[in-house]
Every structure is written in C-alpha cells, then in structure tokens.
Amino acid sequence: MHVNQAQTALWTEMAADPGDGADRLTAWQPARWPVAPDWRLLVDGFFASPSAQELGAFVRSRLEAGAVVYPPRPLWAFELTPLFEVRVVILGQDPYHGAGQAQGLAFSVAEGQRQPPSLRNIFKELQRDLGLPLPASGSLLSWARQGVLLLNTCLTVEEGQPASHARQGWETLTDTVLAAVSGLPQPVVFMLWGAHAQSKQGLIEAACGQGRHLVLTANHPSPLSALRPPAPFIGCGHFGLANAYLGRQGLAPVDW
C-alpha cells in the first residue's frame, strides 16, 4: 500500500469531475471505478470479499428492476483523496437521494445544484467560525483535493429513498477505510456529526489508540438538529479547531 507522496500528489491533480453527463449509476462495474493508487489494495480486497459479492448482486438487481441509483461514481472520494494524503475525515451517512445531487463526496453537490439544507448549515458554520463568505457553489471538490476525505458510510442510494442501500455491504468497506485512516502515521482530524457518525468513534479509537488523532463531535448539520443542545452543530467551531490542530502538528491548514 506504500505509494510515495509525489505519486499521490500527481494522482490528486489528475482526478477530475466525472463530467460525462451521467448523474446516476448505470452499471455495477467496480473494476472500472478509479481510485488513487494507495487505496487500491484495500478496495480490491473488499470487492473480492463475500460482502462485496452480495452487495454487487443487490445493486445489480435494483438496477435491473429500474431503480435510479446515485451517485454515478460511488468511489470518487477515494479517487480524489489519496489515503496517505488524508488530513481530515468528514463522515456522512449515505448519498443525497435527489436527482443530480450526489457526487460520491459526502455533503457535496455538483456545480449548479441547489445546496441542500445540511450543506447550507455547514457553510453557515464556516461563516460564523472563520468569517468566510457563503459560497455560491455547493461543490466540496476543493476540500477533497486538499486531503479532506468526504466519506459516507454507505456509498449508494436510490432516488427518493434515504438509507435504501444501508446494511447491504458498503459499511464493511467504509469501516475498513476508517480503520486504515486511523492507522496512518500522520495526525488526522475526524469530524463526527450526529449519532450515526459518532457510532464509529469506538472503531476509530480502537484502530489508533485514544488520543492519537483529534476526534470532534457535534449534532448533524441537518436543520432538525443543527441548533439542538447539548452539542449543536452551529457554534461547534470544528473548522477552526481542525486548522489549529493541524498547525500545532506542523501541517498546513485546510483552505475551507
């Protein structure tokens, strides 16, 4: 799995928006989904597993039944953000289930798409925390290219059916990803928003030892919980805390 930083930097520069006009998954072809070289062993190991065979059979059956499945490239986060370049993990649950929204990056939407409420609250907190202007675009592509792994625990979903592909096998892969990132030698910030993401805190700490990385928790940025005590998302200050932590470790801040 060891790939030098020059290779991963080149891969990150080359990885681009799918841009092929497809806004949905058209076939189950994981061998054709590119990932950065240092993810390859982990990803190939998963797709050779019984869990992945069952997942593939499920997704193929749903596609054959006429289901509209998002996103078009489920592994795009692993294409844009090489393993050994990860500095921050933002953990989501499953992709957006509206037409044209999901990209394969947690919380991000494509250029030109209306920002979903959770993403608007993320930008509001950035404005409050760091004084940044509210962006017109909901694309978080620039974050992914800076080592922010925008990871959902489930990587596909059906149109209008949240959590429709949960517990079908994706979690086996994403739990392995979290363990791999937790085992990295460099410091990493984990942002766990909401009960679902926070349920992975034990896995993260078991893989790395408590205190090795910075784990930040708050409510989910959904309007249903963003202001709810005792740990509201609005006011959490996670973006400033992450950059301060990275700075103390001698690492460059994220340009949010």
Whether residue 84 contacts residue 5, with contact meaning beta carbons closer than 8 Å, is answered with yes
Q: Which residues contact 158 (CB under 8 A, 6 or more apart)?
A: 62, 67, 68, 69, 70, 97, 164, 165
Active-site residue, from 94, 129, 175, 255: 94
d(CA 246, CA 223): 29
Whether residue 190 contacts residue 89, with contact meaning beta carbons closer than 8 Å, is answered with yes
Beta bridge partner(s), residue 191? 90, 216
- Is 94 known to be catalytic? yes
d(CA 188, CA 44): 24
d(CA 156, CA 20): 19
> pLDDT 10s digit of each residue in the chain, 256 long?
344 444 444 444 444 444 444 899 999 999 999 999 999 999 999 999 999 999 999 999 999 999 999 999 999 999 999 999 999 999 999 999 999 999 999 999 998 999 999 999 999 999 999 999 999 999 999 999 999 999 999 999 999 999 999 999 999 999 999 999 999 999 999 999 999 999 999 999 987 766 789 999 999 999 999 999 999 999 999 999 999 999 999 999 999 9
Whether residue 238 contacts residue 129, with contact meaning beta carbons closer than 8 Å, is answered with yes
User: What per-residue confidence (pLDDT) applies to 210?
Assistant: 65
Domains of the chain: 5-248 (3.40.470.10)
User: What per-residue confidence (pLDDT) applies to 3?
Assistant: 42
* CA distances in angstroms from 17 to 12, 22, 195, 199, 224, listed in the order given: 12, 11, 31, 31, 31
pTM, entire model: 0.91
Structure tokens at 79: 């294409």
User: What per-residue confidence (pLDDT) applies to 107?
Assistant: 98
User: What per-residue confidence (pLDDT) applies to 22?
Assistant: 81
* Angle CA 155–159–162, to nearest 5: 60
**What sign does the dihedral 29-32-34-40 (CA atoms) show?**
positive
Which residue is listed with tokens 């390859």? Answer: 40
* CA distances in angstroms from 120 to 29, 107, 149, 212, 225, listed in the order given: 33, 10, 19, 31, 13
User: What per-residue confidence (pLDDT) applies to 184?
Assistant: 95
